[in-house]
Amino acid sequence: MSILEEMSALLQKGRAPMVKDLVNQALEEGVAPQTILEEGLLSGMSIIGEKFKKNEVFVPEVLIAARAMNAGVEILRPHLVSSGVKNKGTVIIGTVRGDLHDIGKNIVKMMLEGKGLEVIDLGVDVAPEKFTAAAKENNADIICLSSLLTTTMFEMKNVVEQAEKDGIREQVKIMVGGAPITQSFCDSIGADCYTPDAASCSDAALELCANKN
Ligand code: B1M
């Protein structure tokens, strides 16, 4: 097994310290940072994403795999910046105002990062103005909104309207998701994309960024 295959396999098992060691070892052996990212870390995360979609692994496995990926990415980050890896897109993410659920949002964030997108996480209970200000400031491609409550899902409409008010609606795509959200709700509030889970959200986000750039 090559060092990158081993890295991918360990990442899937959530072995963060071993993933970190292998990233350091690969760098010492002269493997390009982008190759380590794509063939070692992202490939492992994408296998986990697919398994999650098919209910072959569950939330805890995804969280520990994502933690291992983040550990590897932290080592790689300075090398990626200095070797000029192109950012595939910028995403602002958060749970809408009044809603404190963040487990799903955190998984979505990790999957987005796993696709090579830069993700700015505003946390939970985020007001519409905060989403749009962050999108403006960071020249974001996408705003990702998560809601788990039927009482907070309508905040998503407020974000769409705020983006219109702030004059950035043409520049930024708005993606919505969370247990109570449906395609028809997405259409009714004028958002751009609904996806039911983290893996499909990251696939769709990458596609939206690729079409834009
Ligand atoms: Co709350 N809660 N909760 N809760 N909670 C639910 C959501 C509920 C369905 C439970 C129930 O009654 N059966 C219910 C909502 C009912 C409704 O609105 N229809 C509920 C309620 C009522 C409440 C409180 C009001 C309870 C109270 O205080 N009386 C309260 C509200 C607090 C608030 O937010 N203001 C509350 C509080 C809490 C806790 C704090 C205890 C805790 C949250 C901890 C945390 O998140 N840090 C909690 C939890 C854990 C749950 C349940 C049990 C689990 C949610 C979860 O994390 N699921 C939940 C019941 C349930 O869902 N079985 C429940 C796992 C997670 C991986 O899934 O978040 O759906 P999910 O994310 C998925 C997809 O939805 C999707 O991808 C993720 C991964 O595939 N996705 C996106 C999510 N965001 C996306 C964005 C996208 C695309 C996909 O694009 C941008």
pLDDT per residue of the chain (213 residues) written in tens, 0 to 9: 899 999 999 999 999 999 999 999 999 999 999 899 889 998 998 899 899 889 999 989 988 998 998 899 889 878 876 655 567 899 999 999 999 998 889 889 888 988 889 999 999 999 999 999 999 999 999 999 999 999 999 999 999 999 999 999 999 999 999 999 999 999 999 999 999 998 899 999 999 999 876
Residue with tokens 């889970």, as numbered in its chain:
197
- Residue 73's pLDDT is what? 84
Instruction: Classify residue 166 by its DSSP letter.
Output: T
Domain ranges of the chain: 3-82, 90-212
Atom number, ligand 1, closest to the C-alpha of residue 150 = 18
Ligand 1, residue 93: give the atom nearest the CA: 91
Ligand 1 centre from 151 Cα, in Å?
A: 12
d(CA 102, CA 186): 20
d(CA 27, CA 82) in angstroms, rounded, equals: 13
> What's the gap in Å between 183 CA and the centre of ligand 1?
19
Going from the Cα of 204 to the center of ligand 1, the distance in angstroms, rounded, reads 22
Residue having the nearest C-alpha atom to atom 77 of ligand 1: 197
Instruction: Write phi, then psi, for 147 (nearest 5 degrees).
Output: -145, 135
Total number of residues shown for the chain: 213
What pTM did the predictor assign?
0.85
**102 CA distance to ligand 1 centroid (A)?**
8
pLDDT at 199: 84
Is the CATH number 1.10.1240.10 carried by domain 3-82?
yes
Beta bridge partners of residue 90, listed in sequence order: 118
CATH of domain 90-212: 3.40.50.280
3-82 and 90-212 share one CATH topology? no
